[in-house]
Amino acid sequence: PILLAAGREDDARKQIESLAKNDAIPVDSRMAMAYAQLANQFATQTKLAPLVAKWASRAEALDPAVIEATFARLRMALARGNDDAALAAAKQIIEQAPDRNVIFRALLQAELEKPESGIWKVLRETYSDFPKPQQQATTQPTNSLEGVPDVSELPNETARAISEGSTSDD
């Protein structure tokens, strides 16, 4: 991600190609995951919103199945107080998720970051299987996210399809 943050995509691609020569995951998917990781790392820093949007867009262009890019857009929208954009991103993530339980856990983490957002009520009204908010124990720090997966655990459709032996060329 450092090379990508520096705008050196060609160098990053060469590095990924050399590290993953015998890997079944395509280089574009690996690049998309790296861009999405970068976008997520800085998604809540509102001053970097243009860069986060650029990195998320590049991830989506390289591999639309990388849900992490949309998750970065969700977190960026929440940080900026844009509930409409956050809700649209959350719905997109839920609808394309191969495993809603994993997605819901990641969304619960985002809710802990921005519990005041109105999107959580709407999501619970729209998706009956969306879990109730997590209650933090009073003995834990308010930023404790123990047991909640980080965004790197979000499913990647390309990686999942490869691991299941899919040969779709969509």
Is-contact 64 58, C-beta < 8 A? no
Work out the angle between the directed axes of helices 67-80 and 27-41 (0-180°, nearest 10): 20
Which contacts qualify for 81-89: CB closer than 8 Å, 24 or more apart? 83/117, 83/118, 83/119, 86/117, 86/119, 87/119, 87/122, 87/123
Please write the tens of the pLDDT for every residue from 104-117.
999 999 999 999 99
| pLDDT band with cut points at 50, 70 and 90 for residue 134 | confident
Quickly tell me which residue has 């809710």 as its tokens.
111
Domain spans, the chain: 2-163
Q: Which are the contacts of 105, defined by CB distance < 8 A and separation ≥ 6?
A: 148, 149, 153
By mean pLDDT, which of 13-17, 39-43, 123-127, 149-153 is the weakest?
149-153
Task: Tell me how far apart the alpha carbons of residues 88 and 107 are, in angstroms, rounded to a whole number.
Answer: 13
